[in-house]
A and B are shown apart, each in its own frame.
Chain A
Amino acid sequence: MSLMGILRGLWAALLSMFELLRGLWTTFRSMFETPVTYQYPEVKRPVRERFKGRHVLKRYDNGLERCIGCALCAAACPADAIFVEAAENTDEERYSPGERYASTYQINLMRCIFCGYCEDACPTEAIVLEHQYELSFTSRRDAIYTKELLIVPVPEGGKPTPQNVPVGMFNRAIPEMKDPA
């Protein structure tokens, strides 16, 4: 073994020692940093305001459902995940302020790609992708969310649907929105 060979070996050993110390230094330094991990599920990280999680069906303040069963969400859905069946409201049994309401509303969350097109298509802002993201199912059937699971609870002061309302109180096919533009 030549002298040069020995020197080269020593140099390499020195270098690797330096790398080792640098790594140890990083580890040492991080001991004093605030941690980025959350103790999920005990602690949950808040999502962004525009995060697209599981859908909910909204209600008006008086408890009537916003959804009018137009099925435009189903038409807009690129994954064919939404299924709507509509029926007609009567004043004795009123679900929505319009003429029509969704008697069946199903979203297959296994198909859903959370694109939010349904939200865009909705003429009454009834369907909203909210912040619920904990979606796991043990069967295919469980992945189909029905109207009962999707609709929000009746707000305080409101009445549950169907409501018995005075004749002529709601006479529009589609409820008038505050800002139609």
Chain B
Amino acid sequence: MSEELVRLKIDDIDVRVPKGTKVVDAAKQAGIDIPVFCHHPKIESVGMCRMCLVEIGTPKRDRSTGEKLLDEGGQPQIEFWPKLETSCTTPVSEGMVVKVSSEKAIEGRKQILEFLLTSHPLDCPICDKGGECSLQDLVMEHGSGESRFLLEDKKHQDKHVQLGDLIVLDRERCIQCARCIRFQKEVAGDPVLAFAERGRNIEIVTFSDPGFNSYFSGNTTDICPVGALTTVDFRFGARSWEMDATASICTHCPVGCNLMLNTRREARANGRQVIKRVMPRQNEQVNEIWICDKGRFAHHFATSEERLTKPLVRIDGKLIETSWKKALEHAAEGLKAAGEGVVGLASGRVSNEDLFNFHTLLKSVGGRAILSDSQAGGELVQQVGVGKGTDLGALGAGDAILVIASDLHEEAPIWWQRVMGAAKRGATLVVANARKTRLDDYAGHVVRYRYQEAARTGLGLLQAITGAKDLSKFASDEPLKSAAKALTEAENLVIFCGVEGLTYAESKSLSDVCAAILVETKNVGRAQNGLIAVWPKNNTQGAWDMGLRPAEGDLEKAFADAKAVYIMAVDPVGDDPSLAESLEGDRFLVVQELFMTPTAELADVVLPAQSFVEREGTFTSGERRVQRFYPAVKALGETKADWRIITSLAASLGIELEDSSAAAVFLQIAEETEAYAEINYQSLAEFEEQWPPVGEEDLYYGGTTFKNRQGLGVQVAPAAEQDQSLKIQWSAPPEFKGKKGYLLVPVVELYNRGATVMPSENLHPRLASPVLWMSLKDAKSIGVIQGAQVELLLDGRTEELQAIAEEGIPEGVVLLGRGLGVPIAEPQYVEVRLKA
């Protein structure tokens, strides 16, 4: 990219920055601090707080000729503007001279601070922001030591305003910078905050129902320059200087947001180290400086008291606490007796090290390692995944993004936010789904298909792109053709492939088609191009990379054929109670878990594992970035890291696995996995300076997001970078089978009622309800009035649910959130009737 550079002088330092840069950002790039409150490098400037006042001068010009006037020394004469200017709204211009530390500018800023303090309460001793507050810092640095204002004249406003279920507002502390309002509008895409009233009565209000209804609300507390916005999770929890910080990676979705866990020892927790708050850690290529509210607030499962703390063994039909030695011996006996009939089932919730050891163990005993996440396409991501160096934040005009069969807003909020950002910057967004999703609002092309026809639609797109004759039976209609044209014309193309409403076979077909589209349009093997699978778990891609494969939709048969089953970090019975039958009986069952799940209750041996905050390891994100997380708190009870449990179990079986450290296991991964060959724990911990600067002395500039000094991770290159001659064989989707009744489609809700969300009580008011969504027409034909109770007949069971009709849902389909207490494995036909 060639950018026109502009030369200017700030405090006698020559600065060259791209045209259009604001003076305040130019100064920051030159290492000169201009204090700000309302300006934020990620948000459009408005010049509200007036804190960034500087003296600005431009070269004098001859009015008749337009020539620059020179002084006696041959230097251009500078005409200073009569008043102090806000440097956040003034773009740089050639030859500009800026005085940041002139007496006039310093005096100006001092007076603005005095003005701001006229109404700011002296809450610093108890304010959650105390110690990391922009106002506190800047008053110490630039303010006057004394106030000329009478304390009695201070404006008193509401101290505890529950803005939403998660955010509390202190109206008195607010300095009206509008960062939160602008963040919600520009960055989060949820404009739910605004100013009300005028003058000294001005206040922040929310006009959504429920209040502050946004998945990104927690970020406003990071960029709030004062303590006006606080979270319910951390409110009065600790002072900022009392906590330790440990780098981690979010485990709630495949985005892999970089986190910082703030911990401290607490008397309340009997002297244990507890996680006080979860903060974002900057990684401009992954989550920038934001995280979603699930990542911020749903961390309590990791340190929950409900967790398993001791190994359990079934004696006389009851699970009894025992020692590790006995539990492992018992488990090894059972697995040994099963010989090659061992089936292992693991989910993508655990780390690469765990999954590698799991796979190696099962390979050694001649068993089969199954990945529980029922979505295909992992090997396609290995081939045509996004190229090394991909940054969704750099996609813009001329680029295209296809999101198919996924509701990104619920499944991976930060991807949704970044895709929305790319669309706003001019990228063509094509959203293909059977129902209306929130991304439709930003889409250039919306493709609607019927559930079960996602792969067909993909093939239609492929046909429109290639014009291939063998695809003619999938020939597409006009909207599909124009979408295909947009995808073909794009310079860069990223495809997000989801699994909403798909069976495993359909998912396989759809991911093949997505890969084929990328290959046909030659959008593979380069940065900013490729396939991203919207996985159900944070490390599903890592599980594929470690060699695990899904059961291809027939888990029941796999269990039935097995003599012993070893289950790690997944609850198949909880997800599908019909599987309980196939796990009962003579089958020897070992379950390695955090909680006493319905599956663990059936087990012969239960092994307590550690959560991600107690141990180290690596996760591979959906963009195939391998990232490292670190131990933040002491392990609960006798729990052990998953990889270490597997190593001990293997030792009891006479198989030697790495037992020294997670780093050593990763060295083995690097040896055996070609794509990971160049990676080790050192390279994962490397970092570089990122823009904007955050988390340093100048907190007022970027907010309290932590600076990344613990590693940006390494993005793995897809095979297509070496081999451009790749061919993808598309497969026809399974024939469409129309059946009687309504098609029940499980959809993803961000705040589900799963085991990793429920222990976080702050989120309870926001949890999704088990509600059956249906189209208005179907509601009418069933006779449903909004909110009526209906009966759902599935798998011979009857579930009672509330029904809600909404626009944008296709006819003949009912939607139900996953993990809300009604287990549904795959889309299926059900009967729906009004409750008598």
Report A's interface with B, CB cutoff 8 A: 68-72, 74-75, 83, 85-88, 98-100, 103-104, 106, 123, 171-174, 180
CA distance A178 to B148 in the complex (A): 18
B121 contact from A70, A85, A103, A173, Cβ within 8 A: A173
Interface size class on chain B is 20 to 34
B655 to nearest A CB, angstroms? 47
Question: Are B267 and A174 in contact, with the CB atoms below 8 A?
Answer: no
CA distance A106 to B266 in the complex (A): 11
Task: Report if A68-B125 is in contact (Cβ < 8 Å); known contacts: A85-B268, A171-B159.
Answer: yes
Question: Are A106 and B267 in contact, with the CB atoms below 8 A?
Answer: yes
Question: Are A104 and B268 in contact, with the CB atoms below 8 A?
Answer: yes
Question: Are B266 and A85 in contact, with the CB atoms below 8 A?
Answer: yes
- With an 8 A cutoff between CB atoms, is B235 at the interface? yes
- With an 8 A cutoff between CB atoms, is B337 at the interface? no
- With an 8 A cutoff between CB atoms, is B306 at the interface? no
Question: Are A99 and B151 in contact, with the CB atoms below 8 A?
Answer: no
Q: List 7 A-B contacts (CB under 8 A).
A: A74-B242, A83-B267, A87-B236, A88-B236, A98-B126, A99-B160, A174-B123
A172 contact from B159, B238, B266, Cβ within 8 A: B159
Which residues 198-215 of B sit at the A interface, judged by CB distance below 8 A? none
A121 to nearest B CB, angstroms? 9
Question: Are B126 and A70 in contact, with the CB atoms below 8 A?
Answer: yes
CB-CB under 8 A from B512, the residues of chain A are none
B224 to nearest A CB, angstroms? 16
CA distance A180 to B239 in the complex (A): 23
- With an 8 A cutoff between CB atoms, is B670 at the interface? no
CA distance A104 to B242 in the complex (A): 15
CA distance A180 to B147 in the complex (A): 12
CB-CB under 8 A from B151, the residues of chain A are 180
Question: Are A123 and B241 in contact, with the CB atoms below 8 A?
Answer: no
**Known interface pairs A71-B238, A173-B126; 9 further A-B residue pairs with C-beta atoms within 8 A, sorted by A's residue number:** A69-B236, A70-B239, A75-B242, A85-B266, A100-B236, A103-B268, A172-B159, A173-B159, A174-B123
Question: Are B268 and A71 in contact, with the CB atoms below 8 A?
Answer: no
A51 to nearest B CB, angstroms? 27
CB-CB under 8 A from B127, the residues of chain A are 173
- With an 8 A cutoff between CB atoms, is B122 at the interface? yes
B242 contact from A71, A88, A99, Cβ within 8 A: A71
Which residues 112-126 of B sit at the A interface, judged by CB distance below 8 A? 121-123, 125-126
CB-CB under 8 A from B239, the residues of chain A are 70-71, 75
CA distance A71 to B121 in the complex (A): 19
CA distance A39 to B122 in the complex (A): 50
Question: Are A99 and B159 in contact, with the CB atoms below 8 A?
Answer: yes
CA distance A99 to B239 in the complex (A): 15
- With an 8 A cutoff between CB atoms, is B170 at the interface? yes
Please name the residue on chain A nearest to B242 by beta carbon.
Answer: A71
CA distance A172 to B267 in the complex (A): 28
Which residues 145-173 of B sit at the A interface, judged by CB distance below 8 A? 151, 156, 159-160, 170, 172
Question: Are A174 and B125 in contact, with the CB atoms below 8 A?
Answer: yes
CB-CB under 8 A from A172, the residues of chain B are 121, 159
Task: Report if A72-B159 is in contact (Cβ < 8 Å); known contacts: A103-B268, A180-B151.
Answer: no
B243 to nearest A CB, angstroms? 12
B58 to nearest A CB, angstroms? 46
User: For A70, A100, A173, A174, which residue has the most chain B Cβ atoms within 10 angstroms?
Assistant: A173
User: For B236, B237, B238, which residue has the most chain A Cβ atoms within 10 angstroms?
Assistant: B236
CB-CB under 8 A from A180, the residues of chain B are 122, 151
CB-CB under 8 A from A123, the residues of chain B are 125
CA distance A174 to B130 in the complex (A): 14
CB-CB under 8 A from A98, the residues of chain B are 126
CB-CB under 8 A from A71, the residues of chain B are 238-239, 242
CB-CB under 8 A from B236, the residues of chain A are 69, 86-88, 99-100
CB-CB under 8 A from A74, the residues of chain B are 242
B322 to nearest A CB, angstroms? 33
CA distance A123 to B267 in the complex (A): 24
CB-CB under 8 A from B267, the residues of chain A are 83, 85, 104, 106
Question: Are B159 and A174 in contact, with the CB atoms below 8 A?
Answer: no
User: For B126, B130, B156, B242, which residue has the most chain A Cβ atoms within 10 angstroms?
Assistant: B126
Task: Report if A75-B241 is in contact (Cβ < 8 Å); known contacts: A68-B126, A70-B125, A123-B125.
Answer: yes
CA distance A87 to B267 in the complex (A): 13
Give 5 closest A-B pairs by Cβ, nearest first: A70-B125, A173-B123, A123-B125, A100-B126, A104-B267
CB-CB under 8 A from A86, the residues of chain B are 126, 236-238
CB-CB under 8 A from A70, the residues of chain B are 125-126, 130, 239
Return the CB mask of B217-249 against A: 1 if under 8 Å, else 0: 000000000000000000111110110000000
CB-CB under 8 A from B172, the residues of chain A are 173
A119 to nearest B CB, angstroms? 14
A77 to nearest B CB, angstroms? 12
A15 to nearest B CB, angstroms? 70
CA distance A174 to B237 in the complex (A): 17
A138 to nearest B CB, angstroms? 21
